[in-house]
Structure 1
Amino acid sequence: MNTLELKNILIEEINQIEDKSFLNALRTIIESKIKKENLYEEYNSEILMAEEDIEKNHTISHDDVKNKINEWKKK
């Protein structure tokens, strides 16, 4: 059984369920899976952008950041 066949079977079975609380539980599971996948994609995208910044030397040293913070504290 391939993924498409499994999806179709699940859709047919879900269409037969009348229990609202069970359907809400399924919805929560599905939304959680989607959010997790989106977070993973976003995380990977941010890693790639950070690597590009490093390659382009668009970085700030730790000491420079500490100095900036100290300047802000004086204001």
Structure 2
Amino acid sequence: MTTIDLKKHLIQRISEIEDMAFLEAIKTILDSKSQILHLTSEQREEIKQSQDQINQGLFTSHDQLDEEFEKWANKN
């Protein structure tokens, strides 16, 4: 199925739906897909720095945090 075929199929299926809640749910999905996130230059720089830190192995995994929490919780 091509993109055009799929769009036509979806349009047809949506046009048959009478359930307002379901249509609103579809609208929510479509709206969330079309939202563009605008970042400031500072935010983009922070993301780049975070990615660099991850690439250098400078992070704590979820499992490591769980272990640290367990140690902390058992001390109290």
**TM-score w.r.t. length of structure 2:** 0.49
**TM-score w.r.t. length of structure 1:** 0.49
